């Protein structure tokens, strides 16, 4: 039972870390979007280009953090599920497809938020990309 408690605690800890990172990245991206869309950034000084590029890079880091966080979260639950404990006492025993990411609505929502922010930054970068490509 001590081993099961360890895996439950690990899964809960990683779940909390996932949402702490998510909230932090959400605030950071909101601030960058606001700055990139401000009048000062649109003045032609290149600030908007820098902020949109930095925001897009941050979204890539955010996606990696989501992916790795859920990897650890699922591993904790899979390892806990495989313990030789009575299934009625194991909180992971009744979870089908415990590590199938595409069936996890919360994972999909977390990824969708990072992709939406990335699309906003890509839209902000589009004029610069278009001018480079259409020369």
What mean pLDDT is reported for the chain? 91
For residues 68-86, average pLDDT: 94
Structure tokens at 125: 């970068």
What count of other Cβ atoms lies within 10 Å of the Cβ of residue 58? 18
pTM of the model: 0.87
Name the residue with higher pLDDT: 45 or 129: 129
For CA atoms 61, 66, 67, 69, give the dihedral sign.
positive
pLDDT in tens, 92-115: 999 989 989 999 999 999 999 999
Q: In this predicted model, what pLDDT tens digit does every residue of 36-62 receive, in sequence order?
A: 888 766 766 788 889 999 999 999 999
Report domain extents, the chain: 2-133
């Amino acid at each position: 039972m001590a081993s099961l408690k360890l895996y439950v605690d690990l899964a809960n800890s990683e779940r909390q870390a996932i949402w702490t990172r998510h909230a932090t990245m959400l605030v950071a991206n909101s601030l960058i979007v606001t700055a990139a869309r401000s009048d000062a950034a649109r003045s032609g000084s290149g600030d908007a280009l820098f902020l949109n590029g930095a925001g897009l890079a941050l979204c890539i880091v955010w996606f990696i953090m989501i992916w790795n966080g859920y990897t650890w979260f699922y591993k904790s639950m899979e390892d806990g599920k495989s313990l030789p404990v009575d299934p009625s006492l194991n909180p992971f025993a009744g979870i089908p497809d415990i590590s199938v990411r595409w069936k996890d609505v919360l994972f999909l929502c977390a990824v969708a938020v990072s992709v939406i922010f990335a699309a906003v930054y890509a839209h902000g970068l589009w004029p610069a990309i278009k001018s480079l490509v259409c020369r």
